[in-house]
Structure 1
Amino acid sequence: MPQEPTTTAPGPPGVLRGWLDALAVVLAGIAAMAAVAALGLWAAGADSLPGGGFPYVLAGALALAVGGSVQLDGGAGFFAQVDAGITAMPLSVGLVGALVMAEVFLRQLRFRAVAGGVELLGRVARTAAVWVVALVLLTLAARHTFVVPLGNDLAQQLGGALGLTPEIGFHAEAATTVGLGLLWLLVVLALTFAVSRRAPLPRGLVPFQQAVRPAAFAMLLVLLVCVAIGLVAGLVTAVVHGNARETLALLLLALPNLVWLALGLGLGAQWHGHLVGALGLPVPDALSTVLRGPDGSAATIDLGTLAEQNGLVWLLLPMAAVLLLAAGFLTAYRSPREVRLWQHAVRLGAAAAVTMLLVGVWSRVSAAYGLSVLGVGVGEGGLGDLLGSVLGDTGPAASLGGGSLSLSPQLWVAVPLAAAWGVVAGLLGGLLAAGRGRRGEIPADDR
């Protein structure tokens, strides 16, 4: 019998089209992150940086958003020295970029229930290759040097007499930004396939999707609900207290950093950290107070220590419990009826543990800077102010020429705690869903 003629989709040839698809994913993510970061930096006051430094600071913020680090250096020989570095992910920027890239990647695979493993690996590899090029360009753009006055009268006179021009610069570390940025993309794409029912899988993996996707989607929804609650609270705070620009900076740069930390604290996890100087952004007073341990020593952040400053912090416990219970119910509702109760519990426990691991790793903060002129801190109006502006801090720490912030989770406690909460929530959620008309077997064309 004669074969039916085959038709090809209009457009570029297959290989070229694949690279264009990868380019579309990367450009969409970069554009979304740049828009959010630019608005956040503008609200934080970075638009007033001298020497047209805003675009370079924006590139630095994007490097941080995907896991990179930024180092600050400069000075005037032996006369003035800067010692600084930042490793912190502005998760608002990264979250928007991840959601946009996942959506564009999935739209290129729409109307398909199954895809070949070679094809999917090819798409991921091309996207990763284009992403690496973008990260290299971002690293090259995220560097700048400012020439500024010293600010201190005596220092200014000495500098003029010695013919020294103080400078302060910053640069994104290439190895960290490219390496961890690539890992960030791979994690985002892996989570996309783990969460979305629209993502086609190779035939060999289709039977396993119901063991992963309902629980993974439920935990993603928990994280997004936390962000939504924080967004509403932030907008109300801006209206009531009148600090609209500062609050907008927080929402656009670091909202998930706070609300996901609050979720972890509600589950009983602990963070350790310290704060010397000013944060530069409006954060809960209880957190700021606890971080300022005596003599800059490390402090433990948990429900108990925060509740000593504000008793309302205890509300994080029932809020976390309600969110995890809702996740348990949603996991059971989206699973086939033949899934056993203990399977719901194990799957949600595993998903909750992975979620807390990622939240813990992504919420780490390490920022320290110091500035001295002949061993003496620089006064207000000079290098200290500029350094604080680059770091997003225009408070007292900046004018004194020094400060530090660290925040890291106790993962060996947080991850097992989240797993235990997930197991209990999975059991209770499965029991609640058993008495209701929950979803049965999911049709193959709807997976």
Structure 2
Amino acid sequence: MSLRTRSDQAVLARHGWLHAVATVLGALIAMAVVAALGLWAAGAADLPDNAFPRVVAATVVTAVGGTIELSGNAGGLADTNAGLTVIPLSVTLVGALVLGAGFLRPLRHRAVTGAGELAGWAARIAVLWLLALLGLALAARQTFQLSLGEGTLSDLGELFGVSPEVGFTTDVIPTLFFGLLWLAGVLVVTLAVSRGAPLPARLLRFQASVRPAAYAMVALLLAYVVLGVLIALVVAATRGHAAETLAVILLGMPNLMWLTLTIGLGATWNGRVEGPFGLPMPRVLDEVLRSSDTATLNLSTLAEQDGRVWWLLVVNAVLLLAAAFVMAARSPARTRAWQHAVHMAVALALTVLMICLVGRISAHYGLSVLGIGDLGGDLGGDLFLKPELWSAVGLALLWGLVTGFLGALLARPVRRRGAAGNGWKR
């Protein structure tokens, strides 16, 4: 057996089942730790019936696109209805970073890989991922009994035998489907972002245009999250509320900051907050969402509450220009400025489309007795937040064209011929 053949077999052995187990477990443990700490900071550790582990499992499930169904029971004379759609993107982001790093680790120091080898490595991870996700889906179910408090509601409850309960279960089949789709997206983005990861020979011609743009978008999203964490820590140090701030950081910081990114582009979101529900966002956003039945959330409406919101335009321009500069600096010198502009526009539009799809929030819970509406108070509430999708994507295309062109001009002094290929021409 030749030395070359033995070397190839050693490389193949490094991404067998054992390494796949380590990759999947590492991602799930990281997500569970972040979710548990965030829920603990939010006060979920005090839930009755030892429900905390099941709530953690449900949080991890929703973080990868899983479906949680809410159910209610209030006896024969009362009715409950509930619904929840939200993705805790802090947990999602941590899982994607750990999973991507584990996926790339055995592929280092390779120039080219075969499509079959790459698909086999991804399939090992996918099989273990589905098994782990199935276990989480079966564990994520719980029922809670709600207290009617004191006064009229309590008297009605005793009179009519109303003892409201609310619980959650996992819809297993959609959870496995969307969890697998999430995994595929993470692996594809990981290969697109990493300049040193090997690709099948047929895909090498695409890396000069795809990889610099993908890297720039991931860097942009991470920069927004880091900026949000720094602001949150400063606010916690100066104004208190450390536990609430930690909960926002560990559960919903990307939800808040990527929403801010789209608003800074000029995008519009529509939403409402009423009842005991709330969103992990600054006071000015919450006030706008509580101002009417369906509130409009954009730069103009936010500036009516606080004029400093216009600084979002400046922050967006600086960070987008920096991302365009990074993209151009990592691209081959032969790429023209208008091509950089097109690459940046497409990449930013896809990024904003992703934010609009995963950043939607909706939640509702209501209790009615004898068919008379929701009782309101702490026993009913409604919130939703959804974007005006295509206008947001259109604005992203426009911003991408402008900043991509300017970034290409700024990067001319530092660009090198074949820069995008330095990671695989070994």
Scaled by the length of structure 2, the TM-score of the pair is 0.92
1:106 & 1:320 partners in 2: Cα distance?
31
Q: Which whole-Å deviations, capped at 9, do the CAs of 1:158-204 have from their partners, x for residues lacking one? A: 76687776533211222332222211111111111111112210011
Kept in 2, the 8 Å contact 1:377–1:401? The answer is no
Q: Which amino acid aligns with 1:132?
A: L
**1:35-54 paired onto structure 2 within 5 Å:** 35-54=33-52
Q: 1:412 aligns with which of 349, 373, 390?
A: 390
Kept in 2, the 8 Å contact 1:227–1:256? The answer is yes
Percent of aligned pairs sharing the same letter: 51
Q: How many residues align?
A: 424
Q: Which amino acid aligns with 2:308?
A: L
Q: 1:244 aligns with which of 242, 245, 264?
A: 242
2:30 & 2:409 partners in 1: Cα distance?
41
Kept in 2, the 8 Å contact 1:250–1:281? The answer is no
Q: Which amino acid aligns with 2:350?
A: V
Call closer, same or farther: CA 1:211–1:401 in 2, change over 3 Å.
same
Q: Which residue matches 1:89?
A: 87
Call closer, same or farther: CA 1:42–1:354 in 2, change over 3 Å.
same
Q: Which residue matches 1:438?
A: 415
Q: Which residue matches 1:313?
A: 309
2:279 & 2:25 partners in 1: Cα distance?
29
Question: What is the CA distance between 1:11 and its match in structure 2?
Answer: 8.8
Q: Which amino acid aligns with 1:404?
A: D
1:10 & 1:113 partners in 2: Cα distance?
15
2:396 & 2:70 partners in 1: Cα distance?
37
Tell me whether 1:403 sits opposite 2:381 in the alignment: yes
Residues 75-84 or 179-188, more deviating: 75-84
1:32 & 1:96 partners in 2: Cα distance?
7
Question: What is the CA distance between 1:329 and its match in structure 2?
Answer: 1.1
2:243 & 2:95 partners in 1: Cα distance?
22
Tell me whether 1:199 sits opposite 2:197 in the alignment: yes
Q: Which amino acid aligns with 1:301?
A: L
Call closer, same or farther: CA 1:243–1:377 in 2, change over 3 Å.
farther
Kept in 2, the 8 Å contact 1:155–1:373? The answer is no
4+ runs deviating over 3 angstroms:
2-14, 147-167, 278-282, 372-379, 442-445
**Structure 2 residues not aligned, in runs of 5+:** none
Tell me whether 1:355 sits opposite 2:348 in the alignment: no
Q: Which residue matches 2:332?
A: 336
Question: What is the CA distance between 1:86 and its match in structure 2?
Answer: 0.9
**Secondary structure of 1:140 counterpart:** helix
Kept in 2, the 8 Å contact 1:367–1:404? The answer is yes
**1:243-322 paired onto structure 2 within 5 Å:** 243-280=241-278, 282-294=280-292, 297-322=293-318
Kept in 2, the 8 Å contact 1:377–1:400? The answer is no
Kept in 1, the 8 Å contact 2:71–2:166? The answer is yes
1:137 & 1:427 partners in 2: Cα distance?
48
2:34 & 2:3 partners in 1: Cα distance?
50
Tell me whether 1:190 sits opposite 2:168 in the alignment: no
Call closer, same or farther: CA 1:260–1:148 in 2, change over 3 Å.
closer
Q: Which amino acid aligns with 1:276?
A: E
Question: What is the CA distance between 1:120 and its match in structure 2?
Answer: 1.0
Q: Which amino acid aligns with 2:363?
A: A
1:258 & 1:195 partners in 2: Cα distance?
24
Call closer, same or farther: CA 1:170–1:92 in 2, change over 3 Å.
same
Kept in 2, the 8 Å contact 1:367–1:405? The answer is yes
Q: Which amino acid aligns with 2:313?
A: L
Kept in 2, the 8 Å contact 1:249–1:281? The answer is no
Call closer, same or farther: CA 1:351–1:13 in 2, change over 3 Å.
closer
Q: Which whole-Å deviations, capped at 9, do the CAs of 1:185-230 have from their partners, x for residues lacking one? A: 1111111111111221001111210111111111111111111110
2:248 & 2:295 partners in 1: Cα distance?
23
1:329 & 1:4 partners in 2: Cα distance?
43
Q: Which amino acid aligns with 1:7?
A: R
Question: What is the CA distance between 1:4 and its match in structure 2?
Answer: 6.0
2:68 & 2:5 partners in 1: Cα distance?
53
Question: What is the CA distance between 1:8 and its match in structure 2?
Answer: 6.7
1:312 & 1:350 partners in 2: Cα distance?
30
Q: Which amino acid aligns with 1:65?
A: A
Q: Which residue matches 1:235?
A: 233
1:92 & 1:342 partners in 2: Cα distance?
35
Q: Which whole-Å deviations, capped at 9, do the CAs of 1:284-322 have from their partners, x for residues lacking one? A: 11111111142xx22211100111111111011111111
Q: Which residue matches 2:103?
A: 105
Scaled by the length of structure 1, the TM-score of the pair is 0.88
**Secondary structure of 1:446 counterpart:** coil
**Structure 1 residues not aligned, in runs of 5+:** 380-396
1:71 & 1:404 partners in 2: Cα distance?
16
**1:352-431 paired onto structure 2 within 5 Å:** 352-374=348-370, 400-431=378-409
Kept in 2, the 8 Å contact 1:69–1:173? The answer is yes
Please, what is the CA RMSD of the aligned residues? 2.6
**Secondary structure of 2:276 counterpart:** coil
